[in-house]
Structure 1
Amino acid sequence: MTTEAPDETLLPELVRRRDLRAGAPYPSAPAVLGVLALLTDVALHLTTTLVIATRFGLSFWPGVAVYAVISLTHRVLLRRWWGATLGGLLCGLRFVVEATGRPPTLGQLAKVWLLTAVLAVST
C-alpha cells in the first residue's frame, strides 16, 4: 500500500478560525461569511484607492494601478502574514490548504490573486 503525498498546489479554502483550533477536518465556512468578508475587502480597496487617487490627482489608469497594488498587498502579503484579509479577520475566517491544514504559501496566494484579477477583468 502506497501513500500519496498531499497535493500542495490546491487552492486555499476559507475556514472558520474556531475550526482551526478544534482540529481537522476543516469544514468550509458559511457562504454568507465569505461574501461579507469579500465585500468588506473590496470596500477597503476602493476607499483606499479613492483617497490616494484624489490626494494625488490621479487619472483612471494610474488609479487602476493603485487599486491593483493595494489589492495585491492586502490579498497576498497580509493574507500570508495574518492568515486572512482584514475582512476575513473581522468575520472570523482563515485561509488554509485543505490537504495540509496549513496556511497557503506566497506562491499559492499570488496564483489565486492573479486568477481572480484575470477573471474580474475578463467579465
Structure 2
Amino acid sequence: MRHYLLAATLLLTAGSAAAREFHSSSTVTGANGRVYQREGSTSFGQGYANHQGSVTGPNGRAVTSQGSTQYGQGYVNHEGTVSGPNGNEVSRQATTTYNDGSYDRSVTYSGPNGNSTGHSSTGTYGTSP
C-alpha cells in the first residue's frame, strides 16, 4: 500500500472588485520519498478566467500549463497549452454552447509536430428529480 503525504497551502486574494486571484501550492511525497511541488494561480473576473501552473519533479524538471477561458450566456470557450521539460507543447481548444437544456461541445488537441486530433459531443442537462 502506498502512502502519500499531501501538504497544501491555499491563498485567496481579493484584489479589486472586478478581478480576483487564487493561488495554490502543494507538495506531495510518495512512499519512495520522491517529492513533487505544484504551483498554480488563477485570475478571474466578469466573463473570463486565466490560469497558469507547474509541477516540478525531484530532478528539478517541470511541466507547465497555461490557459484562458471566456464565458457568457450560453457558451464557454477555453484554450490552453501544456509544455514539457523538453520544450514540446500540446495545445487544447474547446468550445461548449448551451441552448434550451442541451449542449454541443468540440475539443481539438494539437501536438508539437503539427498533428491534431479532437472530439465532439452533444447532450442534455437539467435538474434531477
Q: Same fold (TM over 0.5)?
A: no
- TM-score (norm. length: structure 2): 0.19
Between Structure 1 and Structure 2, the one with more strand by share is: 2
Q: Which is higher, the Rg of structure 1 or of structure 2?
A: 2
Q: Which fold has the larger relative contact order, with Cα–Cα distance below 8 Å and residues 6 or more apart in sequence?
A: 1
